[in-house]
A and B are shown apart, each in its own frame.
Chain A
Amino acid sequence: MRKYLPWVGLVARLILGGTLIVAGYLKFDELDKSQMAVRAYELLPIPLANFMGIFLPFFELAIGILLVLGASTRIAAFLSGLLMFAFIMGISQAWARGLSIDCGCFGGGGQVAPGEADYVTPLLRDTGLTLLAIYLTLYPHTKIGLDKKPKTATELGEGNNG
């Protein structure tokens, strides 16, 4: 079983990284909308929300590319786990407060007509992605990546690649 785990890790990397790249790329072209999407969560002060609206697509692209390439997998997975956790918090609080917003996960975002907001889909998706991120943080040694493998298979668990 143990020898299949790096392949599981590869699949996890591609799903998590691929999702982040798509999400970042789709927002990249319409940063005004991305800012709008962050503001609509009514969580951050407006100037910070506007900054995050621009920063997030770049950040998603960066960690997404690193995950797909398998470069610094552990750090990239840890950061994407934090990001997904923040998204889950943001979406949950919007739902709990009864805001009517589009999650803006893959572009779009902002207010929507009351009753049209869908919070379940993004929450389920982000929960799944969080699990992948946790898995990769714990077991960052995967097939076909730029990270160097530890010298022996028994050294699993320590991510220091130096």
Chain B
Amino acid sequence: MANQKPGKDNFTRNIVIAVVVGVLLIMLVPTLLSKQTDTSAKVPASVSADRGYGIVFNEELTGVPVIEIYEDFQCPVCAQFEQLQGDYIESLITAKKATVVYHTLSFLGPESVNAANAAACSADEGKFLGYHRALYANQPAENTGVWSNDVLGILGQAAGITSKSFTSCVNNMDYQGWVSNAAAAGAKANVNSTPTVFINGKEINRQNEYFNADKFKAAVERG
């Protein structure tokens, strides 16, 4: 009822509109910019910008299937996938039978960012696969505050990482820029859920090939 007086102009209203629209625009622009790839961000060992900032194993091989795995360390289905297919994928890496690219997305929340950063630190120590396994084996419920950088640093011991450089890399979020680049690359690759697996650039069948050991193996061998 406050604005019924005839003749009162809309000054207050216009100010309010300008402030609401202005503030949101001012917030929108840096947000959009932050989603751009930052090519100057520090990149962990064995990461290839050409491969969507993924952590690559057996990059040098030719004529073998290329398996690309998009995952979020907090995603429970990714943990199931790791449990079922993790050993097989690692055996392909050791036997040099496939090029494997791990894309660590972080859309589930800040603890996913922490975990992806810590995983990048473990790659520098040459212990990515072990740490990857340790993360999934100790996966807490999403965003419950369990995966602080302190905990993620200690978790390194489960993968045999004891160096000080790892702990400081985890605590300083050395690879935060890289985590965001990897997320942007996942967005460009049209990855809409995790885990998502591409073999030679094509997504495998979501109906039956992810969680069936035989069918997954067949999909890899088909290439």
Contact check, B35 vs A72: say whether CB atoms are below 8 A apart. Answer: no
Contact check, A149 vs B3: say whether CB atoms are below 8 A apart. Answer: yes
Contact check, B6 vs A33: say whether CB atoms are below 8 A apart. Answer: no
Interface residues of B in 76-112 (CB under 8 A from A): 105-109
Complex: A39 Cα to B189 Cα, angstroms: 10
Interface residues of B in 170-212 (CB under 8 A from A): 183, 187-188, 190-193, 206-207
- Within the complex, the shortest CB–CB distance from B29 to chain A, in Å, comes to 10
Contact check, B6 vs A151: say whether CB atoms are below 8 A apart. Answer: yes
Contact check, B17 vs A71: say whether CB atoms are below 8 A apart. Answer: yes
Contact check, B6 vs A146: say whether CB atoms are below 8 A apart. Answer: no
Contact check, A39 vs B20: say whether CB atoms are below 8 A apart. Answer: no
Size bracket of the B interface = 35 or more
A23 interfacial contact with B, CB 8 Å: no
Complex: A128 Cα to B191 Cα, angstroms: 32
Cβ-neighbour of A39 out of B3, B12, B25, B192 (below 8 A): B192
Contact check, B31 vs A148: say whether CB atoms are below 8 A apart. Answer: no
Q: For B112, give the chain A residue with the smallest CB separation.
A: A32
Complex: A31 Cα to B13 Cα, angstroms: 30
Q: For A47, give the chain B residue with the smallest CB separation.
A: B188
Contacts of A31 in B (CB 8 A): 31, 35
Contact check, A148 vs B8: say whether CB atoms are below 8 A apart. Answer: yes
Contact check, B206 vs A69: say whether CB atoms are below 8 A apart. Answer: no
Complex: A151 Cα to B6 Cα, angstroms: 6
Cβ-neighbour of B10 out of A40, A65, A114, A162 (below 8 A): A162
Question: What's the tally of chain A residues with a CB closer than 8 Å to chain B?
Answer: 38
Contact check, A66 vs B24: say whether CB atoms are below 8 A apart. Answer: no
Q: For A35, give the chain B residue with the smallest CB separation.
A: B187
Contacts of A47 in B (CB 8 A): 188
Contact check, B1 vs A55: say whether CB atoms are below 8 A apart. Answer: no
Contact check, B192 vs A40: say whether CB atoms are below 8 A apart. Answer: yes
- Within the complex, the shortest CB–CB distance from B77 to chain A, in Å, comes to 9
Contacts of B17 in A (CB 8 A): 66, 71-72
Known contacts A39-B187, A148-B8; A71 and B31 CB within 8 A of each other? no
Contact check, A30 vs B107: say whether CB atoms are below 8 A apart. Answer: yes
- A-B residue pairs, 10 tightest by C-beta: A32-B107, A146-B13, A111-B193, A40-B192, A110-B192, A110-B193, A58-B28, A62-B24, A33-B107, A58-B24
Q: B residues near A, CB below 8 A?
A: 1-4, 6, 8-10, 12-13, 16-17, 20-21, 24-25, 27-28, 31-32, 35, 105-109, 183, 187-188, 190-193, 206-207
Q: A residues near B, CB below 8 A?
A: 30-33, 35-36, 39-40, 46-47, 50-51, 53-55, 58, 61-62, 65-66, 69, 71-72, 101, 110-112, 114, 143-149, 151, 161-162
Give 17 pairs: A residue, B residue, CB < 8 Å, sorted on A: A30-B109, A39-B187, A55-B28, A58-B25, A58-B31, A61-B24, A62-B21, A66-B20, A71-B13, A71-B17, A101-B192, A110-B193, A146-B3, A148-B9, A149-B4, A151-B6, A162-B10
